[in-house]
A and B are shown apart, each in its own frame.
Chain A
Amino acid sequence: MERLLSKLLPISIFNELYRSADLNTLTEIRLRLDKPLYYAEAGKYKRLDGVSVGKDDLTYTLGAATKSSLYAYNEYLADGYITYDGGIRIGITGEGVVKNRQLSTLKNITSLCIRIPRYVEIHNDKVDGLINKFDNTLIISKPGLGKTTLLRYLIKSLSDREYNVLVLDERGELSGVVDGRLSIDLGACTDIVVGVPKITAYSSQVRSMRPDVIATDEIFGEKEIDCILDCIRCGVKVIATLHSDELAKVKKSPAYSRLLNDFRYVVSIIGIGNVDRIIDLRGNYA
């Protein structure tokens, strides 16, 4: 990670960060134009004194993140993020460029949010129990509390138990696949689809890859819910994450509550590797 960050950040910023932060627990770096740099270690934000982020710093970082290939990132910029080596995801804000009444890209970048993925071994009886009695599982929490980290752990654990796990990784964040290279080990029986819109991937890959389990991050929208329910109907198990701070809110949403008819477990987490509770929707609480 140290090597990747040294490539990604301007040397002056990297040196300061290297001096002040613990790169092994670093989870996020926030660069905002003409503002001090903030970073998060194990989810806690700290301010990097003595560093003010300039326009050149943002331009450098964006150039390094796109590997001097901005032309290949138009659509990603319009979506507000790009993925760098090692599954590092960079959220971007700036001025929108609209063509034919559609957002085509961003210019005059003002903020970059660099999120660093980690594979964390989760030693937790509740999680072990979930793996042993595996069924359709929905992981919920607020952003930044470790849904993706838990999802990665579940994927690898199931894959190690020889389930064929199909990972639909539209943004390359789960697997850290960039330019065809895998930087996070998700197990020997895992197949990874990167860069394909999830809605397309559900139907085509279920037929072609015959997965036992489909894993996907951040369910969003009715179309995706329909696809997931279709997969479950086909007999494929699904593990997915959803942004929500509590199950009651999911139940209130007409769209997302449909998932609860077919998902068996809802895992609510309160920190990286820290499971609050696992709710068995068939009646038992763990």
Chain B
Amino acid sequence: MLKFAISGVLCFICAYLGLAGKNYYDKRCKYLKDFSEFLASLRDGMSYANDKLPQIGRKFISGGKGAFYTDLGEYVNAVDNGNPTQEEVKKCFDSKYVSKSDKVMLKEFFCELGKFDYDTQMSRLNMTASQLKRTVEKAEKERKTTGNLLPKLGLVLGIAIMIILA
């Protein structure tokens, strides 16, 4: 009976870890897609209304929810309170849902945001957007393959443990 209970708990843990893995891939994908949408809204705000960064940021934040929106909110507050340092910017986008390379991209982009004239800023924005497009495609692919596989693997592993213990 004890064996059965232990194997049941282990099976549950394996399945849970599999789901947590899937959750990471889902959230990462959403985070990067939200970032991509923000770039589009930044491009519109900069070119059409010549809006300043806090205005564009706040308008964007009001339209959605998620980890990126929360991080962006922190960044906008930091900008509102003065001129954030590189460390402060890094801290704003230190999300557990994105990889190290994603964090580097986010930090570089937001540290340089608003430090250039319009033309240079647009060209940097376009460069980040094209880099992000490739990253989103890759993240989406990983979500579909690895992300969807993990819960199944977790469950199979759990069942295997149950069988072995039985």
| In the complex, A72 has a CB within 8 A of chain B | yes
The smallest beta-carbon distance between B78 and chain A, in angstroms, is 9
A-B contact count (CB 8 A): 57
CB–CB A67/B53 < 8 A: yes
CB–CB B46/A68 < 8 A: no
| In the complex, B121 has a CB within 8 A of chain A | yes
CB–CB B118/A63 < 8 A: no
- Mask of B36-78 contacts with A, CB within 8 angstroms, 1/0: 0000000000100011111100000000000000000000000
CB–CB B52/A72 < 8 A: yes
CB–CB B52/A63 < 8 A: no
A105 to B118, CA, bound (A): 11
A68 to B82, CA, bound (A): 9
Look across to chain A and name the residue whose beta carbon is closest to the beta carbon of B114: A68
The smallest beta-carbon distance between A12 and chain B, in angstroms, is 13
- Mask of A55-71 contacts with B, CB within 8 angstroms, 1/0: 00000110110111111
A8 to B81, CA, bound (A): 8
Chain B residues near A179 (CB-CB < 8 A): 52, 54-55
CB–CB B118/A67 < 8 A: no
| In the complex, A46 has a CB within 8 A of chain B | no
A148 to B90, CA, bound (A): 42
Q: Max chain B CB contacts within 10 Å: which of A7, A66, A71, A104?
A: A71
Q: DSSP majority for the A interface?
A: helix
Q: Max chain B CB contacts within 10 Å: which of A64, A68, A70, A179?
A: A68
- Pick from A6, A67, A74: contact of B80, CB below 8 A: A67
Chain A residues near B117 (CB-CB < 8 A): 70-71, 74, 104-105
- Pick from B55, B84, B121: contact of A71, CB below 8 A: B121
- Mask of A1-32 contacts with B, CB within 8 angstroms, 1/0: 00000111000000000000000000000000
- Mask of A128-158 contacts with B, CB within 8 angstroms, 1/0: 0000000000000000000000000000000
| In the complex, B161 has a CB within 8 A of chain A | no
**With known contacts A7-B82, A8-B82, A68-B83, A63–B115 Cβ distance under 8 A:** yes
**With known contacts A72-B46, A179-B52, A179-B55, A67–B116 Cβ distance under 8 A:** no
A63 to B79, CA, bound (A): 9
A68 to B80, CA, bound (A): 9
CB–CB A74/B52 < 8 A: no
Look across to chain A and name the residue whose beta carbon is closest to the beta carbon of B52: A69
Chain A residues near B122 (CB-CB < 8 A): 71
Chain A residues near B127 (CB-CB < 8 A): none
List the 3 shortest-distance A-B pairs measured between CB atoms, nearest first: A68-B114, A63-B83, A69-B52
Interchain residue pairs with CB less than 8 A apart (22)? A7-B80, A7-B82, A60-B82, A60-B83, A64-B83, A67-B54, A67-B79, A68-B83, A68-B114, A69-B53, A69-B114, A70-B115, A70-B117, A70-B121, A71-B46, A71-B114, A71-B118, A71-B122, A72-B46, A72-B118, A74-B118, A179-B52
18 new A-B contacts at CB < 8 Å, known A6-B82, A70-B117, A71-B117:
A7-B81, A63-B114, A63-B115, A67-B114, A68-B84, A68-B113, A68-B115, A69-B51, A69-B52, A70-B115, A70-B116, A71-B114, A71-B116, A71-B118, A72-B46, A72-B52, A72-B118, A74-B118
Hey, which bits of chain A sit against chain B, CB under 8 A? 6-8, 60-61, 63-64, 66-72, 74, 104-105, 179
Hey, which bits of chain B sit against chain A, CB under 8 A? 46, 50-55, 79-84, 113-118, 121-122
